[in-house]
A and B are shown apart, each in its own frame.
Chain A
Amino acid sequence: MSSDQATRTKQPLVALAGVNKWFGDLQVLKDINLDIANGEVIVVIGPSGSGKSTLCRCINRLEGVQQGEIRLDGVLLPEEGKALARLRSEVGMVFQSFNLFAHKTILENVTLGPIKVRKVRKAEAEQRGRLLLERVGIAEQADKFPAQLSGGQQQRAAIARALAMEPKVLLFDEPTSALDPEMINEVLDVMTSLAREGMTMVVVTHEMGFARKAADRVVFMDHGKIVEEATPETFFTNPRSDRAKDFLSKILTH
């Protein structure tokens, strides 16, 4: 994997170097090295407990790491405080459980960041917010509260909320895992179109169809390590490691 990085001439948008992280005695990330180029779509897969969600959460420092460096656009992630908040505003995140603000309408969810962080005027933020809601297909839900929406609609609202900050990179932490099966596609469709439009994305998911269709690179993790990195084509048809072969045989047989 290191030779792959060396050939990339431009500075990576996200760079993780020698990252190690422990929860107590348990090491959840082991010597992670990963460069993500501007516009690249990375899909992170692996069995549960493999550290893939933690990896995702470390990129905007919702989780701190004990060792190693994480850079965004060449800048080392700051410690807690205003600088970190500013950096986080440039990294969008979509959560498994949506995490919409329950006391605010869908439109208010989308405009809160631009108004409070970017100091955009309310009218302008709302106009842009409505366009984003239209883009994810829920324009008519703008004035409802999160609990009045279906899971799929809530997750699309959460994507619009992240997009409203015009992030450099979007992190998806198992965005479809909490959804009923019939709602998964409406969310994946939005994600696929974002990928086509050139958004840099890190997607932790179990949706192999999405990985095949939208990923530039698949990162396979197990026990806190990156075991294998490959194009989706190579990974799904000809995985190198036994662990990946075993994992794929378990999830692709039905």
Chain B
Amino acid sequence: MQALLDNLDRLWSGFLTTLGMSVAAAVIATILGTILAAFRVSPLPPLRALGATYVQLVRNTPLTAVFFIVIFGLPAVDVTFQNFFIAAIVALSVYTAAFVCEVVRSGINSVSTGQAEAARAIGLTFGQSLRDVVLPQAFRSVVPPLGNLWIALVKNSAIAGGGFAVADIAQLAPSLARDNPAQVLAIFGGIALAYMVITVPSGIAVGVIERRTAILR
């Protein structure tokens, strides 16, 4: 315990790194995942195939492997990132987007086809009907699973520090444990608690958002 209290400044900076990395990845993954979901319900078969292929490839690859590909594989084809922090955001975004896509797609499927038809019948294009009619309702119905993805993303970000030299909370744990072998349990427990500081309030917030945005049916 003392080891954690003595290193509060490192813990705080690691916490901010984890939070920043997670928030950035969540924003990118939500946007990318939504675009992929739009592809998967598009009237154009090539876009549907592209969306489905992305999901199958990425969803079935271990996250650690995605990190390896982004950090060590892409430089081989001259795609490099400024630092591990940026690379970690890319890896987390690419990976999480596949799951966001499927969650959003199930939300899209929960909107009655009649509403999409009504939207087209008043002259909205496919994109407009998606943006103004279907997606706003789709998102409302998938708040809980999107919340799950966010919580999973925060915890998945530990791979960045655990394996790829990003100075987040997870990286702090082994180095503190090495220096204070007698306090290993307290250190790792404290690190787990630091993740919960993000995830537990997130879970509560998700519940509030779910109630606030619910649509009368």
**Chain A: residues with CB nearer than 8 A to chain B?**
60, 62, 80-82, 85-86, 88-93, 95, 97, 99-103, 112-113, 116-117, 145-148, 158, 161-162, 164-165
Contact = CB atoms under 8 A, between A and B. Distances in A.
B124 interface: yes
A117 B122 contact: yes
Contacts of A97: 112, 114
Top 6 nearest A-B pairs by Cβ distance? A89-B123, A113-B122, A99-B118, A99-B114, A147-B216, A93-B121
Nearest to A146: B216
Interface of B: 43, 112, 114-115, 117-126, 128, 132-133, 136-137, 140, 215-217
A85 B125 CA distance: 6
Nearest to A110: B122
A113 B216 contact: no
B115 A99 contact: yes
Given A62-B121, A85-B120, A117-B128, 4 more contacts: A90-B123, A112-B122, A117-B123, A161-B122
B121 A103 contact: no
Contact of B216 (A81, A89, A112, A148): A148
Contacts of B122: 88-89, 92, 112-113, 117, 161-162, 164-165
Contacts of A145: 215-216
Nearest to B119: A101
Contacts, number: 82
A239 B118 CA distance: 35
Contacts of A146: 216
B137 A117 contact: no
Most-contacted residue by chain B among A103, A145, A148 (CB, 10 A):
A103
Contact of A99 (B112, B128, B215): B112
A89 B119 CA distance: 10
A97 to B, nearest CB: 5
Contact of A101 (B118, B140, B216, B217): B118
Contacts of A113: 122-124
Contacts of B121: 60, 62, 88, 91-93, 162
A120 to B, nearest CB: 12
A91 B122 CA distance: 8
A80 B43 CA distance: 9
B124 A95 contact: no
A88 B115 contact: no
B114 A102 contact: no
Contacts of A81: 125
21 contacts: A62-B117, A62-B121, A80-B43, A81-B125, A85-B120, A85-B128, A86-B123, A88-B123, A97-B114, A99-B112, A101-B118, A101-B137, A102-B137, A102-B217, A103-B137, A112-B132, A145-B215, A147-B216, A147-B217, A148-B216, A161-B118
A118 to B, nearest CB: 8
Contacts of A161: 118, 122
Contacts of B132: 112, 116
Contacts of A99: 112, 114-115, 117-118
A95 B133 CA distance: 17
A108 to B, nearest CB: 10
A91 B133 CA distance: 19
Contacts of B43: 80
A161 B136 CA distance: 19
A116 B136 contact: no
A117 B128 CA distance: 9
A64 B53 CA distance: 28
A134 to B, nearest CB: 20
Contacts of A95: 114, 117-118
A116 B217 contact: no
Contacts of B115: 99-102
Contacts of A164: 122
A27 B137 CA distance: 35
A179 B53 CA distance: 44
B120 A88 contact: yes
A244 to B, nearest CB: 30
A177 B196 CA distance: 53
Contacts of A103: 136-137, 140, 215
B118 A100 contact: yes
Contacts of B133: 101, 112
Contacts of B128: 85, 116-117
